[in-house]
Amino acid sequence: MRSRRSPSDRRPHASVALYTDAERRRRDASPWTMVQGVLAPLQFAAFLVSLCLVLRYLATGEGLPSATASIVIKTLLLYAIMITGSLWERDVFGRYLFARAFFWEDVVSMLVLGLHTAYLLVLATGALSSRGQMYLALAAYASYVLNAGQFLMKLRAARREREAPAAGAASFAGAAK
């Protein structure tokens, strides 16, 4: 059966801009943009240290207190970045979570937050063995890596958007010569 689409419907869709001009101005003016810029690499560094400590414990059985403390610190940094990220999203998009541009990142963030919170709950209640807690932390970390990848892709897209008008203007200026 043939498609009933018009020829204009068959054209590839232009990519939707990540930010409108007004959102970009609000993003650049928000104090939470800088906070996110500081917290994100700090959380990533805590993740790397913690991952090493968790893997060391699982491989050798040594260093449980250090691994546990590192997971708690990483989780507290996650809470800080989630709260300030929600405030940033409110400043830029007018809603605390699930704005159009970051909907799927926020969905995965809820999984990340849930797994990290589950870790704190099993730590507090002893519901899992120490090894079980470490495996739960690794599951939380795997979801964090996925989520961090999503945000890095958005950051890259935002940079391309910012550079595209300048590149277009430069090529136009070159053509005008």
Give the per-residue pLDDT at 51: 98
Give the per-residue pLDDT at 12: 42
- Global pTM reads 0.80
Residue given tokens 């932390």 in the structure block: 137
- Non-local (6+) Cβ contacts of 143 within 8 A are 108, 111, 112, 115
- Non-local (6+) Cβ contacts of 112 within 8 A are 78, 140, 143, 144, 147
- 27: pLDDT confidence band, cut at 50, 70 and 90? very high
How far the first Cα of the chain sits from its last, in Å, is 51
pLDDT tens, 61-85?
Answer: 999 999 999 999 999 999 999 999 9
3-state helix/strand/coil string of 34-67: HHHHHHHHHHHHHHHHHHHHHHHHHHHCCCHHHH
Structure tokens at 118: 């589950």
**pLDDT for residue 8 is more than 90:** no
